[in-house]
Amino acid sequence: MIVLLVILHVIISIFLILVVLVQQGKGADLAGAFGGGGSQTAFGARGATTLLHKLTTGFFVAFVITSMSLAVLQARPRNSVMSGTAAPAAPAPAKTPAK
């Protein structure tokens, strides 16, 4: 179960990295480089939601869910190979020769 979740987490991470790198920034044009954004809002104009934005949001949610699931699964105590065995007996004290 954990191995499958780790594999899924790695795949989601790779897709999240690729989707973020493919996106074009808000100030990617030449006017944005010199402060010609032309918007009075604090974070720039809010455009229509694109497919890449939706993919980024979806992969981010999946990344957070798999991260939290892995954290919970790793924090749980698991059975060990040694959990069913008895503790080894203490060694007997060595006899000293009587004089």
Say what the pLDDT of residue 45 is. 59
Pair 93, 39: CB distance under 8 Å: no
Pair 16, 60: CB distance under 8 Å: yes
Say what the pLDDT of residue 51 is. 87
Say what the pLDDT of residue 31 is. 57
pLDDT in tens, 21-65: 988 776 555 555 565 555 555 565 566 678 888 989 999 999 999
Residues 6+ apart with CB under 8 A from 1: 73
Domain chopping of the chain, boundaries? 1-23+52-75
